[in-house]
Structure 1
Amino acid sequence: MALVSLTTVFLLWMCCTTPKASARTACEDPPVIDFGEIASGNKSGYEENDRVQYMCNPGYTLSGSEWVTCHEKIWTPGPPQCLAPCTITKQQLEARKLLLSHGRRHTFLIQSGQKLEFVCITGYKLTSSSVRKCVNGHMTFPSCISDVSCGAPPEIPRASIASSEQERYLPGARVQYECESNFQIMGVNYVTCTNGQWSQAPTCRDMTCEPPPEIAGGKVQGVKKSRYLPEERAQYRCWQGFQMTGDSTVACQNGTWTQLPTCRGRGEKCGPPPAIENGDLLSFPLQEYAPGSTVEYKCPSLYVLEGSRYITCAEGQWTNPPVCLVACTASEEDMNRNNIELKWVTRNKLYLKSGDFVEFECKIGYVKDPASSPFRAQCVEGTLEYPYCKPGTELTQSE
Structure 2
Amino acid sequence: MCVSYLGFVFLIWFPGVLHAQSAAEPCPAPVLNGGYLVPKQDTYPDKTAVTYACDNGLKPAVEGWWATSTCQNGRWSHEPQCIDENYCLPPTITNGKYTENRNVQGQTIDITCNEGYEVKDRLITATCINQTWSSLPVCERSNNACVEPPQIPHAVILERYQEVFAANSRVRYGCKTGYTPNGRNTEIVTCSSGQWNGVPTCRK
Common fold: TM-score over 0.5: no
Judging by fraction of residues, say which structure has more strand: 2
Structure number, greater radius of gyration: 1
Q: Which structure would you say has the larger RCO, counting Cα contacts within 8 Å and 6 or more residues apart?
A: 2
